[in-house]
Amino acid sequence: MTMISPVSAAINHLLAREPWAREKLARHAGKVALFDAGVLSIRLKAAADGMVEAAGHDEPQNVTIRVKLSDVPLILQNREHAFSHVQIEGDADFANTVSQLAETLRWEAEEDLARLIGDVAAVRVAGGARAALDAAKSTQRKLAENLAEFFLEEQPLLVRPQAVADFSSEVARLRDDVERLAKRIEKLKESR
């Protein structure tokens, strides 16, 4: 019996468009991957047709991919470096295939929307969504910059890295000056 979960259905939706990806995954038919985020874990099994299905808890995993929940935003921001934030145990070849699929499979929202609302409307909705996302990112960046400026200039709770470096070099120079002065004093005492 094939078990379908919302996660496997979403992944299968992406795989359905990519014959090369299904071919790669089919080579690992029957293998189970456990994605463990601590409070949430997902077990998926590669099927013979190159799709995925939910795996039972009694099936041993061939690869375990552990991720900290705190790293999820970093992973979502930059999928190309996603696997640098995870710990992988088990079948290296299967893990490599999962990594390649995670990096390259993309959801084509416009194509899916076009089936529902037509091509022109899909392009406009997707464009509006991208514009809204870009605006949200810009607002987030500006807010972070404004908060940093506030805490650096108006309510100095933070220190600029250059100020720390300058202070450190001044302390080192003062230490060296004190050591030279101490040696001069010792020489003067010895010469008396």
Question: How many domains does the structure of the chain reveal?
Answer: 3
Mean pLDDT of the chain: 82
The whole-angstrom separation of Cα 145 and Cα 138 is 10
pLDDT tens digit sequence for 149-191 = 887 777 777 777 888 888 899 999 999 999 999 999 988 888 8
Whether 1 is covered by a domain: the verdict is no
Domain, as residue range, for 32 = 6-104
pLDDT tens digit sequence for 25-81 = 889 988 999 888 878 888 999 999 989 888 888 888 899 888 887 777 766 666 666
**Alpha-carbon torsion (83, 33, 100, 130), positive or negative:** negative
96 with 76, same domain: the answer is yes
Whether 183 is covered by a domain: the verdict is yes
Give the start-end residues of each E strand in the chain.
32-36, 41-46, 52-54, 63-67, 86-90
154 with 169, same domain: the answer is no
The whole-angstrom separation of Cα 71 and Cα 142 is 22
**CATH, residue 17:** 3.30.1050.10
Q: How confident is the model at residue 2, as a pLDDT?
A: 46
Beta carbons of 57 and 42 less than 8 angstroms apart: no
Q: How confident is the model at residue 174, as a pLDDT?
A: 92
pLDDT tens digit sequence for 97-129 = 888 888 787 777 677 677 778 878 878 888 888
The whole-angstrom separation of Cα 37 and Cα 1 is 27
Whether the predicted model's global pTM rises above the 0.75 cut = no
Of 104, 136, 169, the last residue of a domain is 104
